[in-house]
Structure 1
């Protein structure tokens, strides 16, 4: 049962797209299991760069079937825009499958997201404003619109009207906005039905049969562990479960069928949006990491907050995901530093804490305790094996592996598809 989960082990933006694409030629299915177009991946193939927001990274591998699972929320206009862009560049997207149970991001979900975030002011969460949270809220409140609803106009109309009963009260009486007409929403959603239909499938059945036939299935998470709605830095989190458990609920594949869980770990730490970040840098080092690492959100376009590697977070990700391996990315960005600090623990109220505090208050007050490791100045982008790395770079990787609690099986030494050192095969 060769089913693998690949997910972010920090706050997202760790380089999951590259890792997925690297495996894409060796797997039969790549499945997105949560999130929406608030999760971006950049994949570099040769001299071509692809920015993917909603589609699984495996869509760039001709032999692979890309799947959008039931745990994903789908904005049809974004989906078609992304498909059109890839088709124009000669990428075949015809093999894409989308779960009929996936929920649709409606125009009113986007409106509610934007006005709510604006209303919060300084207390804002830092959402992307793309309607993701309100769509998941509708799902939990049982007033969500699913892709399968597009093929029964009567049901669709009833559901949209029911959802807008409450939302229009909120928009008009709290936010002083115009009410949204249900008929216009229904009309827009129905306009997507014909084009979506060839992609819609019972993906639960497809994926389970694939595993029964010994096909290799890779589950690809968006965002990262610390943005998980249950296990992240709540409330500054996403609205779904990027952790390994989300792969099961977001696809309908049981946990006993998953054989490996791979965490993507950046050689330093970044995050986008609001919330606590103990190792965040506000000096020249932080700006250098941002500049050299090209740290700008693929989907949001926002500059990422940058800081040194946080081993406390890495250990936590290992625990809550049951990680079997790490893929360490962007090691090349650290080239040139004489000394590289690594956060090994926190100081909270004068006490040393080596595990992630469960209390939001404690985490907000956590101060990093650093261990200083020697850096290197040699260019590592042409390294093909671990022994090709400078000794200090090797020692840095070994130290991170020991601190993080799982073996590092691959190392990214540049942005290109071939700029990766594979220590142990993931398959």
Structure 2
């Protein structure tokens, strides 16, 4: 069975966690390939509401493996806490595996992340302050500690000693902070080895073995395409590759193994933190959607910025990822609006453009060209069949399909698994 990927098409928070949980009942394994605990997925099932930051969403299903790939950066403290929480609520955590090649978020990464963001002042990027960026910097700079390194003490000690000396110089001499003690950092590493060592595995081989056995594998994206380090609204992006390319490099998976790519989009747009967002609406208008939808970050608790659906950005996401199908979430939030808008182009410097600019300054100057569609009075909330949707809601879905150039396969009408419309099969 080929693999299928679930990827955010916007700036994250599209509802991927719910969709992955919904699909996981038909797969054998759910695999995270990028990001860290800067992402948050919410899953609602018969055991309650779970807010997951590192553990793959599919682990909430019996008999489904959860795999954390080499492209993920792991904060062991967060992982251990998360496993304890879901384990206490009846979830079997023995089905989790972590790539021995996954990089570890060290204590100095968290310290540096916060110091660097503070130093940026008004130019702050809006990081979560969880050490994600510094961990990826060290990965690229060949100064990283990997999960497998935690299990080789003789090799680990000189590595940590060397790297910590370098980091302490930055912390004290550049930022004026307090140095970290070597004994404390090594004690952390020893504890982590005991706590998560049993989960370490050659996950690239595990995933290939599952596929060779004709098992169903679902690739779980974190954040969204417009936050991708290469393809997002740089520099207001994450430090990893949430798009389809990251699925291959973040798992050691060959591209031919991926048969389907599901792009997940909210029926409107949201963004957390700084950076351009052309279809953003004024705060007094955004409050209605934000309060109704409880648009506050799972990881940070920050209020999300709100905008209308951006067809230009969505088409760009389709270009980058090659979606084979779309998922439209939170359609129910738009119930009772007299009209709804979609952005179909941008005005910038006196000209119309129909592409998502690479230049941040240009993107920041873009203003939306809207198409207004009639709203619907009948509720879509909790609908489970396409026939239950009002005509105007269906027309809205069709217009999004036209703008993106791809068919909608799933519509989410609420947070629970059953509040879902399967328009057409995903797995073929």
TM-score (norm 2): 0.98
Deviation at 1:380, TM superposition (A): 1.4
What secondary structure, in the 3-state scheme, does the structure 1 residue paired with 2:93 have? coil
Matched, 1:311 2:306: no
Aligned counterpart, 2:370: 370
Matched, 1:179 2:146: no
Q: Is 1:62–1:92's contact at 8 Å kept on the other side of the alignment? A: yes
Moved more, 197-206 or 5-14: 197-206
What secondary structure, in the 3-state scheme, does the structure 1 residue paired with 2:206 have? helix
Deviation at 1:421, TM superposition (A): 0.5
Matched, 1:223 2:223: yes
Moved more, 158-167 or 285-294: 158-167
Deviation at 1:193, TM superposition (A): 0.9
After superposition, the C-alpha distances for 1:396-421 in whole angstroms (9 at most, x for unaligned) are: 00001111111110101111110010
Q: Is 1:46–1:416's contact at 8 Å kept on the other side of the alignment? A: no
Q: Is 2:30–2:220's contact at 8 Å kept on the other side of the alignment? A: yes
Q: After superposition, where does 1:281-292 map in structure 2 within 5 Å?
A: 281-292=281-292
Q: After superposition, where does 1:317-332 map in structure 2 within 5 Å?
A: 317-332=317-332
After superposition, the C-alpha distances for 1:177-222 in whole angstroms (9 at most, x for unaligned) are: 1222223211111112122122111101110011111111111011
Q: After superposition, where does 1:327-338 map in structure 2 within 5 Å?
A: 327-338=327-338
Deviation at 1:362, TM superposition (A): 1.1
Q: Which runs of 4+ in 1 moved over 4 A?
A: none
After superposition, the C-alpha distances for 1:296-336 in whole angstroms (9 at most, x for unaligned) are: 11111111001110000110000001111110000000001
Aligned counterpart, 1:195: 195
Deviation at 1:87, TM superposition (A): 1.1
For 2:110 and 2:267, how far apart are their aligned partners in 1?
Answer: 34
Q: Is 1:3–1:216's contact at 8 Å kept on the other side of the alignment? A: yes
Q: Is 1:25–1:63's contact at 8 Å kept on the other side of the alignment? A: no
Deviation at 1:284, TM superposition (A): 3.2
Aligned counterpart, 1:147: 147
Aligned counterpart, 2:132: 132
What secondary structure, in the 3-state scheme, does the structure 1 residue paired with 2:327 have? strand
After superposition, the C-alpha distances for 1:118-137 in whole angstroms (9 at most, x for unaligned) are: 11110111000000000000
Q: Is 1:143–1:162's contact at 8 Å kept on the other side of the alignment? A: no
Change (3 A) 1:224 1:415: same
Q: Is 1:115–1:175's contact at 8 Å kept on the other side of the alignment? A: yes
Change (3 A) 1:413 1:159: same
Aligned counterpart, 2:205: 205
For 2:46 and 2:181, how far apart are their aligned partners in 1?
Answer: 47
After superposition, the C-alpha distances for 1:122-162 in whole angstroms (9 at most, x for unaligned) are: 01110000000000000001010001111111211111122
For 1:46 and 1:88, how far apart are their aligned partners in 2?
Answer: 14
For 1:374 and 1:282, how far apart are their aligned partners in 2?
Answer: 20
Change (3 A) 1:105 1:47: closer
Deviation at 1:425, TM superposition (A): 1.1
Structure 2: tracts of 5 or more residues without a match: none
Deviation at 1:63, TM superposition (A): 2.0
For 2:381 and 2:234, how far apart are their aligned partners in 1?
Answer: 37
For 2:158 and 2:424, how far apart are their aligned partners in 1?
Answer: 53
What secondary structure, in the 3-state scheme, does the structure 2 residue paired with 1:270 have? strand
Moved more, 192-201 or 52-61: 192-201
Deviation at 1:47, TM superposition (A): 7.1
Aligned counterpart, 1:380: 380
Q: After superposition, where does 1:225-304 map in structure 2 within 5 Å?
A: 225-304=225-304
Aligned counterpart, 1:60: 60
For 2:30 and 2:253, how far apart are their aligned partners in 1?
Answer: 13
After superposition, the C-alpha distances for 1:223-246 in whole angstroms (9 at most, x for unaligned) are: 100000000000000000000010
Matched, 1:339 2:323: no
Q: Is 2:47–2:89's contact at 8 Å kept on the other side of the alignment? A: no
Q: Is 1:157–1:182's contact at 8 Å kept on the other side of the alignment? A: no
Structure 1: tracts of 5 or more residues without a match: none
Deviation at 1:279, TM superposition (A): 1.1
For 1:144 and 1:274, how far apart are their aligned partners in 2?
Answer: 28
What secondary structure, in the 3-state scheme, does the structure 1 residue paired with 2:94 have? coil
TM-score (norm 1): 0.98
For 1:45 and 1:299, how far apart are their aligned partners in 2?
Answer: 20
